[in-house]
Amino acid sequence: MRDLTTPPIFDATQARSDILGAEFMGEGTNFALYSDHATKVELCLFDDEGQEELYRLPLPDMEGGIWFGYLPDIMPGQVYGYRVHGPYEPENGHRFNPNKLLLDPYARELRGEIIWDDALHGYTIGEDDLSFDERDSAPFMPKGVVVDSRFDWDTERALRTPWADTVIYEAHVKGVTKRHPDVPEDLQGTFRGLATEPVISHLQKIGVTAIELLPIHAFANDRYLVEKDLSNYWGYSTLSFFAPHTPYLKTGQIREVKEAIRKFHKAGIEVILDVVFNHTCEGSELGQTLSFRGIDNASYYLLSEDKRHSFDTTGTGNTLNVAHPMVLRMVMDSLRYWVQVMHVDGFRFDLASTLGRESEGFERDGSFFNAIRQDPVLSGIKLIAEPWDIGEGGYQVGGYRWPFREWNDKFRDDTRAFWRRDSGQLGVIAERLVGSPVQFNHSHRPATSSVNFVAAHDGFTLWDTVSYSDKHNDANGEDGRDGHDHNLSDNLGAEGPTDDAGIDTARVRRVRGMLATIFLSQGVPMILAGDEMGNSQDGNNNAYCQDNEISWLDWDGARADIRDAVAALTAFRKDSGLAQTHFSGPEGQPVARWFHPRGDAMTDADWSDGELRILGLMLQPTDAPEILIIVNAGDDGEFALPEGDWTLRIDTARDDVACMDTVSGVLPLGWQSVVALTRA
């Protein structure tokens, strides 16, 4: 690092405006920040700990709203931030305040954390937001760190697992590792812990091909939670779109993320990031000034008609203005950075409908989606939309174009209702089994466009779906008002844990049935981390603020009877040819053929029978035997098999779910079970 006993001097001959952020160029660092309405931008250099501000250096050049300058001899490890000057006119959307140190939106690594103090606000707390606060916020702010992006990837190539073969495991870096008995204690809660052999081996055994991580971008531990002795566990409160969340790093260095990704790739497992580009952690106009608000509030955020106020379609106080070309560039730069430099394999976009909001509302051909579709780097990776937000017209399940896949909450709700034995569910469960064609069979999209799940981070775990009839969120400190009430759950006779063996058996049966529905349906199967072993959150269906044993996986309590069923189901899905994008039916026959338990085709009257809970589906994979899937959400029953000999491959009513029995004629069905057979 350069000796900073004297002020460094910018070298105009090497300065570049085309590379945003702090880019180490080999012998010095180029600094560039976009602010269209600023009048001056000061680069602030700090000591190694980020405590002492050594110099304030006005960036000497500006082109197209990009302020930039090159400093020779500024090396990786240099700590920095910005102070941005301009009009403080909240009524016009401008909230510049150079007393507030601002984090570079492109910072790759952070030093320090947010220390909540009133000085972090651009206005004076206790007065309205038109006031102007003159206190220095630097002592309470994390700072950016100049990094060297070089890393030895061992000439690895992207896995590019086909969608039809993909099995997703939604996980939390800390939640998976914090209570794992075989992860060293000093690595628990970190990327190094996540990439240890015990965790990777477990994922391989249950057939996972991709781990989808809840937000790992640096995020704020919101002040209102800290003041209640709670914390932002899930991380949907982004502070930086480039830097990883520092507590997930044992040394604080980003190479730990790269090391973890390299280990997952060597194990054949892709890494998908849950990303939050719809809003930031700065909240509404009454929120704090940490980065974007102070850099250029009117550019980075959507504002209401009265520009003093934020326009909020996310429920968080603000909405990122992705329609702005330079904000869109920041998002695209972030995505490409994580793919090209960090080697991740895809993204799940939180509240993706917000990203498609244009002047007339949600646009499936909006600038964000079109930018990704034409991008040679991003169009070829895994892209998953959470297809809704809370704004008008925000629910858009099935409304996205290729190459996006989408979380399918209709699959979740209909599968829960079917297995809860609600009446009249045969028609909807049939749709879910064949990939939800009503939603996704358009715009040249394949059957793998639906991401099928029954539980995710938001809501009950799968085990809690069969253990609690009501939510139990008292630990969140909101008197049980938070979290939704549409859980479609059933405790099967006892609220919460029980010693009743009959209830426990019923819960395992139903969980296995729902898991089998996920893995035997067309689309991309996704399970929540811990659902493969009966993990519970004590009935909390909104554990966003529970960074404790409520949310951390209980590995010691893992249930082998569920885990082994998942392993059997993923193996069958792969080996049977079920995991395909297209199927062929016999000449003159539809691709999917539906059977009544009496052995013949379903009639209109059968589909209208609200109490019928057994259904058979026959599919013909390419170059593989016919597959017959039978779901039974009712009591013990029978199913008259189509003519010929069949091999029983899966039976969730058996202790050993995987089997290879030759059967024909009438097949006995266990209560609340799924069987899968192939033509012998």
Q: What is the CATH number of the domain that holds 671?
A: 2.60.40.1180
| CB 363, CB 323: distance < 8 Å | no
Q: Which of 95, 114, 144 is the last residue of a domain?
A: 144
Q: Which residue in this structure is represented by tokens 């338990």?
A: 597
pLDDT of residue 389: 86
pLDDT of residue 621: 85
Structure tokens at 563: 């885990």
Torsion of CA 551, 553, 556, 562, to 10 degrees: 120
For 192, 215, 614, the CA distances from 243, given in Å and listed in that order, are 17, 11, 50
pLDDT of residue 153: 84
Average pLDDT of the residues in 117-138 = 97
Per the structure, the count of domains in the chain is 2
pLDDT of residue 623: 82
Q: How would residue 2 be classed by pLDDT, with cut points 50, 70 and 90?
A: low
For 476, 492, 494, the CA distances from 498, given in Å and listed in that order, are 24, 11, 7
> Helix, strand, or coil here: 324?
coil
> 7-24 pLDDT, tens per residue?
899 999 999 999 999 999
Q: What is the pTM of this model?
A: 0.96
In this predicted structure, the answer to whether residue 325 has a pLDDT above a threshold of 80 is yes
Question: Across the chain, what does the average pLDDT equal?
Answer: 95
In this predicted structure, the answer to whether residue 629 has a pLDDT above a threshold of 80 is yes
pLDDT of residue 508: 98
Quickly list H helices, 154-302: 173-177, 191-194, 197-205, 223-226, 255-266, 292-300
| CB 254, CB 243: distance < 8 Å | yes
Q: Which residue has the higher pLDDT, 314 or 171?
A: 171
> 181-237 pLDDT, tens per residue?
999 999 999 999 999 999 999 999 999 999 999 999 999 999 999 999 999 999 999
Q: Which of 98-107, 138-147, 352-361 has the lowest mean pLDDT?
A: 352-361
Q: Which of 311-320, 581-590, 667-676 has the lowest mean pLDDT?
A: 581-590
> 405-419 pLDDT, tens per residue?
999 999 999 999 999
38 within a domain of the structure (yes/no): yes
Structure tokens at 501: 């063996």
Q: How would residue 391 be classed by pLDDT, with cut points 50, 70 and 90?
A: confident
Q: Which amino acid would we find at residue 593? A: R
pLDDT of residue 581: 62
Average pLDDT of the residues in 488-510 = 97
| CB 170, CB 528: distance < 8 Å | yes
In this predicted structure, the answer to whether residue 396 has a pLDDT above a threshold of 70 is yes
> Helix, strand, or coil here: 418?
helix
pLDDT of residue 224: 92
Q: How would residue 286 be classed by pLDDT, with cut points 50, 70 and 90?
A: very high
615 within a domain of the structure (yes/no): yes
Q: Which of 117, 144, 171 is the last residue of a domain?
A: 144
> 346-374 pLDDT, tens per residue?
999 999 999 988 777 788 888 899 999 99
Pairwise CA distance, residues 186 & 178, whole Å: 10
The single-letter DSSP state of residue 276 is -
Structure tokens at 628: 């017959």
Pairwise CA distance, residues 199 & 675, whole Å: 30
Q: What is the CATH number of the domain that holds 95?
A: 2.60.40.10
236 within a domain of the structure (yes/no): no
pLDDT of residue 154: 76
Determine how β-strand 524-528 pairs with β-strand 168-171: parallel
394 within a domain of the structure (yes/no): no
564 within a domain of the structure (yes/no): no
- List active site positions: 350, 386
433 within a domain of the structure (yes/no): no
Pairwise CA distance, residues 46 & 281, whole Å: 24
In this predicted structure, the answer to whether residue 1 has a pLDDT above a threshold of 60 is no
Q: How would residue 588 be classed by pLDDT, with cut points 50, 70 and 90?
A: low
Pairwise CA distance, residues 617 & 615, whole Å: 7
618 within a domain of the structure (yes/no): yes
φ, ψ for residue 258, nearest 5 deg: -65, -40
CA 404 centroid distance within chain: 14
Percentage of residues in the chain with pLDDT exceeding 70?
A: 98
In this predicted structure, the answer to whether residue 157 has a pLDDT above a threshold of 90 is no
Q: Which residue in this structure is represented by tokens 């009257």?
A: 605
Domain that holds residue 602: 589-677
Average pLDDT of the residues in 389-401 = 89
| CB 421, CB 613: distance < 8 Å | yes
Q: Which among 279, 515, 309, 560 has a CA at the least distance from the CA of 415?
A: 515
Q: What angle do CA 318, 323, 324 make, to 5 degrees?
A: 90
pLDDT of residue 158: 82
- Angle formed by the axes of helices 501-519 and 426-433, to 10°? 50
Q: Which amino acid would we find at residue 347? A: F
> 551-584 pLDDT, tens per residue?
999 999 999 999 999 999 999 999 998 987 666 6
460 within a domain of the structure (yes/no): no
Q: Which residues contact 128 (CB under 8 A, 6 or more apart)?
A: none
Q: Which among 392, 518, 390, 403 has a CA at the least distance from the CA of 452?
A: 518
> Helix, strand, or coil here: 608?
coil
Q: Which among 517, 557, 521, 522 has a CA at the least distance from the CA of 537?
A: 557
Torsion of CA 517, 180, 467, 506, to 10 degrees: 60
> Helix, strand, or coil here: 306?
coil
Q: What angle do CA 483, 429, 665 make, to 5 degrees?
A: 140
Q: Which of 109, 127, 144 is the last residue of a domain?
A: 144
Structure tokens at 635: 């009591």
In this predicted structure, the answer to whether residue 587 has a pLDDT above a threshold of 80 is no
Average pLDDT of the residues in 289-302 = 97
